[in-house]
Every structure is written in C-alpha cells, then in structure tokens.
Amino acid sequence: MHTERIIENMSFISQFPHTIGVVGPTAVGKTAVAIELVDLLDGQAEIVSVDSMQVYRHMDIGTAKPSDFERKAVKFWMIDIVDPDEEHTLADFQHRAAEAIEQIHSSGKIAILAGGTGLYFKSITSTLTIPHTPPDPEFREYWKQKAETSGLDAVRDRLIEVDPESSEKIHSGDLRRMIRAIEVFEKTGKPLSEWHRLDREMEKTVNPNLAFFCIDRNRSSLYRVIEHRVDQMMDQGFLQEVEKLRDLGYSADLRPMQALGYRQLNQYVDNLLSLNMAIESIKTETRQFARRQLIWYRADKRLTWLDAEDRSARDIAISIVASLKK
C-alpha cells in the first residue's frame, strides 16, 4: 500500500464521521477507493462489504471479492460468512453488518461501507424496517411451479395485483424477488412498496456521523469497463469456479448460483447456452444491472457524487478525505 499521507498530523481523523459509505455501479472501482481510504486514514478504518454475493464462500471471481493480498493488508467484514446452500436474508445481513460496524467503532476506528447492493446499504444506514416474514418454502415452491407451468407472466400478474409499485421496480425476469414481494404481502397484509415508503418517510437525511459518496463515470466508459472486467473474470477462471461449485455439490438451482454471471455459466455447463452466448449475456445483463443501481442511488439524497472519469482510486479517495476535512 502507499505510505504517503495527505498531512502529517492525523489528529483530524477523530473529527471524521464514524461511518463512510462508498457506493456506485458495478465495476466502477468502489473497493479500490475504499482500500485507498484506509491507507489515507493511516489504517484507522476497516471495510464492511455491502454486497449481497460476497457473503458466500467459494464464490470469489464472479463476485469480484478483494484479493488475498488486499484482505491481508486491510480488514474486511461480511465476506465469506455463509455457504452457497445456506439461507441468508436481508435481515441476516442487517443484523451481522450492524454487529460488525459496532465492533469497528468500539475499537476506535472508522467503518467504511463499500459495495453495490443498494438495499443492503440502506438497511444499515437508515431506519429501514425489514418485514420479518420467515421464508415459507411451500409458498415459494408453489410460485416457482406456477412460473414453470404458466410462465413468468403469471407471477408478474399476481404481483401487479397486490403490489403494482414493486412490479414496476422488479425486473421481469427476477422470479425470486417477485415471489418475495408477493410473500411479504401475503404474510403481512402490506405491500413491500408500502414498507419501503414508510422507511423513506422516516429516513434521516442529516447525520454528522455518516458521510456517503457515490462513484460514477461516463456511461459509455462504464460499459467498456464492465465488458473488460467480464473478460478478466473469464481469464481468471470464472468458468472453472462455477464447475468447482457444481463438483462441491452446489446445485445450479440455488439462489446464489442463479445470480448474474453464475446463472449464465451454469447454463453453459448444462449445455443450454454456448460459451460465447453466456459471456455476451453476462455483459448485457451487467450493463442493465449498472443502470438499475444508478437509478437506486439517485433516489438517495444523502449521497455526494464523485466523477471517476480519468481519475485513479487514489485521487478519488483523496477527494473524499479533503471533503470531510472541511
């Protein structure tokens, strides 16, 4: 890691917010910026991964986890905490991440939240009330079977009926989230969108102990970076990672194995797609995912936006520290 410091006297750190957020679309460089921040803060910070996929063991390349070298240099939390076949909900993440942040603060350090899962980020930085409806396997299986026999439109029609607002926000191919939204309504009598609306009304917009930044860049440039990263992942052994997961007994039907990238490569392994088609599908869906992430973050008025175009992770981290010293 770099050894230079912005200023020699680091006493200003004690006046920093207790928690700094670094979010943004996939492939924009959030982890790199967070690592540089830890260095600039003289190691007086630790990173909490705010990523719905990095919690799973054995899923490293496709989730873009920090390297072994980076994880030895900087303390990361919320990485490799469950196996791919273990149930891990948003409520689980909220509880565990809150404990991690409390431990970081109790050690006198700053917590840096870095990741791209907007709902996970919101769950630990606002008054997000998660409807605690335990998963109902029979209910979910019914709707999975419904999707297989009658098509995804049958599930979407039910979602439109009980929660039209959520139906507009959930991707038409995201069966899991559609079923979950229906389940929340059936179990609580209140649409998921209503739960989210209540949270927005209660959300604190000003908190001196929190400072959040969103990294963005020119759209065409971001898309080029995304495509390059997918190619890098393939070169690093993404396909072999998926094959190893299958050899370990993790079914392609598991929720993590249906995540972006893993789903397409599982389809290749099952001879449902050619490798070229799988890779192109990963690139296309990742670009679409990045657009949805940006839509989510634009709704969060707490974020300070930073342009990453033609700037290194170090430069961006310096900008963040400089803004917090004002």
pLDDT of residue 126: 78
pLDDT of residue 62: 98
The CATH H-level superfamily of 17-128+203-324 is P-loop containing nucleotide triphosphate hydrolases (3.40.50.300)
pLDDT by 10-residue block (mean), the chain, 326 residues:
42 72 97 97 96 98 97 97 94 92 94 94 76 75 91 92 89 86 86 72 59 96 97 98 98 96 98 98 97 92 94 96 85
Burial of 43 (0-12, 13-18, 19+ CB in 10 A): middle
pLDDT tens, position by position, 278-326 = 999 999 999 999 999 999 999 888 999 999 999 999 999 999 999 987 6
User: What is the domain partition of the chain in residue ranges?
Assistant: 17-128+203-324, 137-200
Residue 51 has which token pair?
């990523």
Task: Give the CATH number of domain 137-200; options: 1.10.3210.10, 1.10.20.140, 3.40.50.300, 3.20.20.450.
Answer: 1.10.20.140
Residue 297 has which token pair?
């973050």
pLDDT of residue 8: 42
pLDDT of residue 127: 64
User: Around Cβ 325, how many Cβ atoms within 10 Å?
Assistant: 12
pLDDT of residue 134: 67
Hunting for tokens 């803004």 — which residue is that?
323
Hunting for tokens 């739960």 — which residue is that?
195
Identify which of 156, 34, 169 has the alpha carbon closest to the alpha carbon of residue 104.
34
pLDDT tens, position by position, 197-233 = 766 555 544 466 889 999 999 999 999 999 999 999 9
